[in-house]
Amino acid sequence: MTKKEYIKKQISRTNKKDYENYVITGIIHKLNNLDVKFITQQYVKRPTGKGFMDLYFPQINYCVEIDEWHHLNQQEADKLRDRDFINITNCEIKRINVSESPIDQVNKQIDETVDAIKSRITRLGPAFIPWDVEREFDSDHWIKKGYIDISDDCTFRTMVDAANCFGKQYAKNGIWKGGVNHSEETGKLIWFPKLYANKDWDNSISVDETKIIEKSNNQEMKEPHIQWVLEKGPHRRIIFARVAGIFGFVFYRYKGEYELDIEESNNEYGLIWKRITTQSKTYPRAELKTENT
């Protein structure tokens, strides 16, 4: 995907809503900076509920909401349970009032928003990493960086791309049902769960994303699975949650590393995973390692 295609698709998602299209294109054109990534209609989780933001800038953790915060009712939220929800607890939210503003006031708010974005980029200094659409889904980018941090907004298009960050080169079309063992750090599983109730699993993640509950939806499998994990492990997992992302593709979003809480886990409640770090070390792949040694 090129930036051109990406931008086209992002903008096209706003086309049905005329003022939203006007405001979003205004911000993007006046910002005029192809190093800045933006996502339209980003689903977000907040302590006050789920919803979506009209415009989200992941590099600077900045959200724009046009006219009103889109609260989802439970039914809508359930329907969207596989979407790429991100946690925006610390996100700055700029609200733009369109419906009650004359056009010059709408333009003024666009200009203010652009100024705010520019000054956030300036404040970040070298911590601002230019958007690189060609490389952002690429394992090599993260291997070179040395780690994945939850603040990096790290998503992969396939399980293999994610798993390839941790020391091995897997077959291109590989998929794993439960996950794959970390080849460099023993006792760790790289896990690709659906973190919502689905046909096979009744998983969930807390709003602050520090706790995951895992249990089978199959009554015959439920207890044996819990006992198997408790007894055999591994008890630590690097988690890439399976989400339906932009453009209808499936993505795997990095959620951090979680450890099994053996005390809290039981046959009734399921396996309880607690987040212990929001950063994971990456490793060169087998071939690359050979070349380098």
Contact residues toward its own copies (CB under 8 A) are 2-4, 7-9, 11-12, 15-16, 18-19, 21-22, 25-26, 29-30, 32, 34, 102-104, 106-107, 110
Residue placing its CB nearer to its own copies in the complex, 93 or 133: 133
Q: What is the smallest separation between the CB atom of 56 and its own copies, expressed in angstroms?
A: 19
Q: What is the smallest separation between the CB atom of 141 and its own copies, expressed in angstroms?
A: 20
CA distance 165 to 183: 10
Residue placing its CB nearer to its own copies in the complex, 3 or 211: 3
Q: What is the smallest separation between the CB atom of 90 and its own copies, expressed in angstroms?
A: 30
The structure tokens listed for 86 are 């991100």
Instruction: Map tokens 């000054």 to a residue.
Output: 119
Q: Tally DSSP H helices, then E strands, for the chain.
A: 8, 16
Name the DSSP class of 152.
Answer: G
Q: Count the alpha carbons within 13 Å of 286 in the hemisphere toward its beta carbon.
A: 8
Residue placing its CB nearer to its own copies in the complex, 3 or 46: 3
The structure tokens listed for 228 are 């198997």
Residue placing its CB nearer to its own copies in the complex, 31 or 88: 31
The CA-based dihedral angle spanning residues 167, 168, 173, 176, taken in that order and rounded to the nearest 10 degrees: -80
- CB 110 within 8 Å of CB 96: yes
Tell me the chain's radius of gyration from C-alpha atoms: 21
Q: What is the smallest separation between the CB atom of 10 and its own copies, expressed in angstroms?
A: 10
Q: What is the smallest separation between the CB atom of 247 and its own copies, expressed in angstroms?
A: 13
CA distance 282 to 179: 17
Q: What is the smallest separation between the CB atom of 17 and its own copies, expressed in angstroms?
A: 9
Residue placing its CB nearer to its own copies in the complex, 11 or 93: 11
Q: What is the smallest separation between the CB atom of 137 and its own copies, expressed in angstroms?
A: 18
- CB 27 within 8 Å of CB 109: no
Query: Going by DSSP bridges, is the β-strand pair 70-71/49-57 parallel, antiparallel, or unpaired?
Result: antiparallel
CA distance 113 to 36: 14
Residue placing its CB nearer to its own copies in the complex, 114 or 121: 114
Residue placing its CB nearer to its own copies in the complex, 44 or 98: 98
CA distance 62 to 46: 14
